[in-house]
Homo-oligomer: A and B are copies of this chain.
Amino acid sequence: MAKRLLVRGNEAICMGAIEAGCRYYFGYPITPQNDIPEFMSREMPGLNGEFIQAESEIASINMVLGAAATGARAMTSSSSPGISLKMETISYMAGMEIPCLIVNISRSGPGLGGIDASQGDYFQAVKGGGHGGYHIIVLAPSSIQEMYDLTMLAFDLAEIYRMPAMILGDAVVGQMKEPLIPHPRPHRELPAKDWALRGTEEGGQRVVKSLFLGDGELEAHNWKLFAKYRDLAAKEARWEDYETADATLIATGFGSAARIAKTAVAMAREEGMKVGLLRPITLFPFPAKAFASATEHCKTVLDIELNTGQMVEDVRLSVARDAEVHFYGRPSGTGSLPTPEELLEQIRRYYRN
């Protein structure tokens, strides 16, 4: 057995980022993700990298924009209110086709809200909280190993598709510690960065921009981005399938909620109920086909989220027409994390043999 380290989720992201070759971190403090800038402030100097605690979340994402425009792997991290502040620039980076990693260890809202684990930012992450109709890659880890692995994947996908990628976590997966098996960054074919700025002595002029004023230019650019999104959906949708084959009820959810739900599903199985779990790992692209095919035979879906209902819309848009989608939400705040026992109760409520 390889050496297993006991690692906090936030730190697993840092370890994954460093293994992925990220040497530029720009951030601003906010609970519950402070472990990330703190870790990076310790590590970057020794790795010949740069750590800047910027004057704000807006400045940090713009530093990422600048560093990443030179082709470097760069990242920022924050939590919900801080992520909201980055929306304009994220839209720019999507339009400019700049790869980078944004980590959102989200907290409960709206507004200042609280610092508890929450999934209230699904819409913002997945539909595009910024203006102009763009998308970014969104990955939702539900274990510490995934915090590490998906961080590496995020950097690669971002480069392959030339777009920002986000890790969407929360205080549960961010603060939790679990065994982690570090491993070298897996090899993936990456395209040449023939767009990256470097001074014209290495060739002709390069411009990284999102302004398109020629007749029809911007529309064509939008359809080009759209084609990438379809490509992503076809090639990069990822999900975990747990005992859905014979299920008559499929529970779903992402990240920490799915993690809790999985135990509820196991408990239900122990009680003899045919229940499975379908957990989207990529929220964008959403694994719509997995839902479509699973609901070919299983007509009851129970979606569980730490909010008042967000991913449930994508589930409804994905399932077979005659499937019923139920929702159980716990918009989070102090003392509002659901327990497996509670979710089992919900499974019982909708379960039909």
Contacts and interface: CB of A to CB of B under 8 A. Distances in A.
A92 B111 contact: yes
A11 interface: no
A84 to B, nearest CB: 4
Number of copies: 2
Given A112-B211, A321-B322, A91 B87 contact: no
A334 interface: yes
A21 interface: no
Contact of A210 (B111, B118, B121): B111
A106 interface: yes
B113 A210 contact: yes
Given A111-B96, A218-B336, A130 B84 contact: yes
B95 A110 contact: yes
Contact of A133 (B83, B114, B131, B310): B310
A129 interface: yes
Interface stretch (A12-20, A38-46, A220-228): A220-228
A260 to B, nearest CB: 16
Contacts of A226: 308, 331
A128 B122 CA distance: 10
A85 interface: yes
A123 interface: yes
A132 B80 contact: yes
Interface string A114-127: 10101011111001
B114 A218 contact: yes
- Interface centre among A114, A310, A330, by most chain B C-beta atoms within 10 angstroms, is A114
B334 A215 contact: yes
Nearest to A92: B111
Nearest to A216: B335
A109 to B, nearest CB: 2
Interface in A223-237: 223, 225-226
A210 B112 contact: yes
Contacts of A106: 131
Contacts of A212: 113-114, 333-334
B322 A215 contact: no
A297 interface: no
B132 A129 contact: no
Interface in A57-105: 58, 80-85, 87-88, 91-96
Contacts of A134: 109-110
A245 interface: no
Nearest to A106: B131
Contacts of A116: 218
Nearest to A123: B127
A213 interface: yes
A113 to B, nearest CB: 6
- Interface centre among A111, A134, A225, A321, by most chain B C-beta atoms within 10 angstroms, is A111
- Interface centre among A108, A112, A133, A220, by most chain B C-beta atoms within 10 angstroms, is A133
B127 A131 contact: no
Contact of A131 (B109, B219, B222, B308): B109
A152 to B, nearest CB: 26
Nearest to A310: B133
Question: Can you list the 10 inter-chain pairs with the closest CB atoms, starting with the nearest?
Answer: A109-B132, A218-B333, A111-B210, A95-B111, A110-B132, A80-B131, A222-B331, A120-B133, A95-B110, A129-B129
